[in-house]
Chains A and B, each alone.
Chain A
Amino acid sequence: MAQANETPLVDVRHLKEYFPVNTGFFKTTPLKAVDDVSFQIMRGETLGLVGESGCGKTTVGRTILHLYEPTDGEVVYDGRPIKNKADIDWFRTKSTMVFQDPYSSLNPRMTVSDIIGEPIDVHHLCDNAKDREEKILQLMDRVGLNSEHASRYAHEFSGGQRQRIGIARSLAVDPEFIVCDEPVSALDVSIQAQVINMFDELQDEMGLTYLFIAHDLLVVRHISDRIAVMYLGKMVELADAEEIYDHPLHPYTKSLISAVPIPDPKIARANKRIPLQGDIPSPLNAPSGCPFRTRCPYAQERCAESMPDFKEVTAGHFVACHRTEEINE
C-alpha cells in the first residue's frame, strides 16, 4: 500500500454534484446526490466505496471521471487539476470505467472486436489496422477470452464473459485508474470469484488503481485496501479495510456491517444485528444537519443543527459523527 506522504493519484476535493429536479411549474429543487465529498486514492491502491442504493456512490464514480460535470469542488489527478476540455481528454486516456450491468453496457450491434476497439479509435491509440487488431487480441487474451470469438456479438456470451469484454474495453487505453461500478453484482456466485480474481491479477500486473464501488460488503472487504462508507450523498466513514470491520465508529457503519449475513451458520446465528429504524429519507428533502440522524439510535439535538466534520479520529480513520467519542467509549 502507498505511503501517506506520497502525492495521491486521485485527489477529490469537496466534490458536489447536484441534479435539478422539477418540483413544480418552473420550479426546480437541487437533488444533492453528492454533497461535499473529499478523499484521496494512492497509486496502486484499491479504495472500496460502499453504501445503500441512492447514497450517491455511483454518482461519485461518474463525477470523478467527469461523465457528469461537477457542480462544485475539483478532482486533481496526479497533481493536475481537471478543469477544461483538454484536461478531461488527457484524463480519459488515464482513467476508465467498468459498468455494473454486463447486459446493457455492451452495444448489441457491435462485435466484440468493435467494442474493445472503440476506445482505441476514439483516442487514436493505434496507427494502422494491424496494430489495432493485435492490440485487441492481446486485450482479449489478457482477460481470458478466446481470440476466436472476436467477431461474435455480445449476446452470444454469458454474463461473466460479457463482464470480461467490458473489462477488456476499459483496459484498451492502458489506464492507470479504473472506476469499477458494481462490476460483479450482476454475476452468479461461482462467476463472481473468477472476475474478482481477474481484477486482482490485473492490478498486480499493470499496477492499476481502483475505485471499487459495491454494495456487497464481503466482496469489498476482500478486494479493498481502504473502505469509504457513504450515506445520503455524504461520506460518513473512511478507514483501512480491516480497521473499519473490526472497529467501526459511525453508528451507520456499525449497523451496516452487522446486517451482512455471514455465510457460516454458527457465526450468522450468533451475530447480533443492530437494527435501523425506517427507510432512507428521500435525498430531495434530506434531514438537516447529519443526514443519518433520523435513523440513528444516538441522535441528539445538535445532530439536527449542524453536519459533523469529517475528522481523523485515529491515524487514517476518518469519521463524521458528533458523538464519536461518547458512543465508542
Chain B
Amino acid sequence: MALLEVKDLHTSFFTDAGEVKAVNGVSFNLDRGQTLGIVGESGSGKSVTVYSIMQILAPAGKIVSGSVKLDGQELVGAGEKVMRDVRGNKISIIFQDPMTSLNPTYTIGHQLIEAITLHTSRNRQQAWERAVEMLRLVNINDPEKRMKQYPFEFSGGMRQRIMIAMALACEPDILVADEPTTALDVTIQAQILELMQKLQKEMGMAIIMITHDLGVVAQLCDEIVVMYAGSYCERGTAEDIFYNPKHEYTKGLLRSIPTTGSRGQKLQPITGTPIDLLNLPEGCPFAPRCDAAMKICIHKAPENMPVGGIHKASCWMNVKAQMEADLAAAEAAREAERAEAARRATPAGIVDDITREVEAELAAEAKAHAEGGEA
C-alpha cells in the first residue's frame, strides 16, 4: 500500500466572482523514501493540491470531492482533530519564502521548541536538546548560540535550513517542499537541495517537491506530475517525462527552455497566455494554446490514459496516435492480403504455388526415406 494515495481530488475556491476550480481531478501515489515532483506554472494548482492534502486552504477554499489516504486512513472529511495530528507529525511543509514564514518577534529556539513540544511528548528541556540537534543536522554553526537569535539575524539560505530543521524535527513521513529554493541564489539552492537529499537518505521520508524549475525536478525527483490550469496533464518517472513526454503541454514546456546547445537558435515558446480559471473551457484546458489541438480537444476533456508502465497522460494526441497506429496496422494487413491475392491471380503465382507444393512433398518423402533408412 502506498504511503499517500490521492484520488481524483477536486478543490475549488468560492469567491465573489464565482467558483475558481483550482484543482481538477488530480491523482497520484507516493511511497516511503520516494521523491515526487509537482511541476507547473503559476496558477496551475500545484500548491493548492498539497494545501488540500494538508487541509490548510484559505477559508474560501473547499475540497469538493476526491479522496486522500495517508497510510490507509481517509483524510477528506476526517475532521480538524485528526488533521492536527497529521500536520507536523506525519506531513510537514516548507514554504517558499523563508523571509516571511518565520515569526520575526520570537527567537529561532522558541519557534523550534514550540513545534516540537506541540507534536511530541518531549518536555521543554528535551525539546531544546532536540532543536539543537536538528540545527546541527542542517549545518548551522554554533547552534546553542543561534537558538537565542531572531530570524533577522540569519541569511535567506540559513532561514530556509531552519525551516527544514523545524519541518523535520518531528520525523514526519512526508516532507512537502513548496518551491523551497525559488527565493534563493543558485549556489545556496544547491546547498539546500543537497541537504534535503542527504536527510532523505538518513531519515527515509518521502518528499513532495513543488516547483516550476524543471532543472530542480530533473535532479531530485523519481516521479513527476505535470499540472496545467488545475488539471493533471501527465505523470511518470523523470525519464518518462523528460525523454518521452506524452502530453502536448509537457512537450511544449521542454521545447521552450534554453538548454546547453540552444545558443544562437530560436526557442520554441508555447504561444498564448495562461487561461482564466474562472472560465475553464469545456474541453482540454490546454487546447486554446495547443498547436496540435483537434476538434475533440475543444469539446471533451481527455481522460487520464496509461501510455506505458506508470506513465499516464491526459491528451487526445495519444488516442490519435494509437488510432493511427491501429489504422496503419490494419492497412498493412489488408495490403499484405491484397498482394497475396494479386500474386495468386497471376499464372506465375499459380506455377509458384504448385512448385512450392511439389517441393514440400519431395522434401517430406526424402525425410521419410531417411528416417526409414535409419530404422
**Interaction A to B:** yes
CB-CB under 8 A for A273 and B194, given A191-B273, A260-B215: yes
Q: How far is the CA of A275 from the CA of B80 in the complex (A)?
A: 43
B267 CB–A CB distance under 8 Å: yes
B212 CB–A CB distance under 8 Å: yes
Q: Give the secondary structure class of A's interface.
A: helix
Instruction: Please state if A190 and B185 are interface contacts (CB–CB under 8 Å).
Output: no
Residues of A within 8 A of B214 (CB): 189, 263
Q: Which of A215-266 contact B (CB under 8 A)?
A: 215, 217-219, 221-223, 241-242, 245, 255-256, 258-265
Size range of the interface on B?
A: 35 or more
CB-CB under 8 A for A263 and B215, given A53-B185, A190-B41, A276-B187: yes
CB-CB under 8 A for A189 and B253, given A219-B258, A222-B262, A261-B215: yes
Most buried by A among B188, B218, B252: B218
Q: How far is the CA of A69 from the CA of B152 in the complex (A)?
A: 31
Instruction: Please state if B263 and A242 are interface contacts (CB–CB under 8 Å).
Output: yes
Q: How far is the CA of A259 from the CA of B185 in the complex (A)?
A: 10
Residues of B within 8 A of A308 (CB): none
State the Cβ distance, B312 to closest chain A Cβ, in Å. Answer: 18
Q: How far is the CA of A160 from the CA of B272 in the complex (A)?
A: 10
B107 CB–A CB distance under 8 Å: no
Most buried by B among A160, A218, A222: A222
State the Cβ distance, A81 to closest chain B Cβ, in Å. Answer: 34
Q: Which of B220-279 contact A (CB under 8 A)?
A: 238-239, 242-243, 252-254, 256-260, 262-263, 266-271, 273-274
Instruction: Please state if B212 and A189 are interface contacts (CB–CB under 8 Å).
Output: yes
A114 CB–B CB distance under 8 Å: no
Quick one: closest A residue to B276, CB to CB?
Answer: A158
Instruction: Please state if A263 and B41 are interface contacts (CB–CB under 8 Å).
Output: no
A27 CB–B CB distance under 8 Å: no
CB-CB under 8 A for A221 and B219, given A189-B212, A193-B270, A275-B190: no
Residues of A within 8 A of B253 (CB): 189-190
Q: Which of these, B186, B242, B270, contacts A52 with CB under 8 Å?
A: B186
Q: How far is the CA of A208 from the CA of B158 in the complex (A)?
A: 41
Instruction: Please state if B257 and A193 are interface contacts (CB–CB under 8 Å).
Output: yes
State the Cβ distance, B158 to closest chain A Cβ, in Å. Answer: 7
B126 CB–A CB distance under 8 Å: no
Residues of A within 8 A of B85 (CB): none
Quick one: closest A residue to B216, CB to CB?
Answer: A261
Excluding A190-B252, A193-B268, A196-B267, 6 further A-B contacts by CB distance (< 8 Å) are: A190-B269, A215-B185, A261-B190, A262-B259, A268-B219, A275-B191
Pull 28 A–B residue pairs with CB atoms less than 8 Å apart, ordered by A.
A52-B187, A158-B274, A161-B273, A188-B42, A188-B212, A189-B214, A189-B256, A190-B274, A192-B269, A193-B256, A193-B258, A218-B259, A221-B260, A221-B263, A245-B260, A259-B189, A260-B215, A261-B190, A261-B215, A262-B259, A263-B215, A264-B242, A264-B259, A265-B219, A265-B239, A265-B243, A275-B194, A276-B191
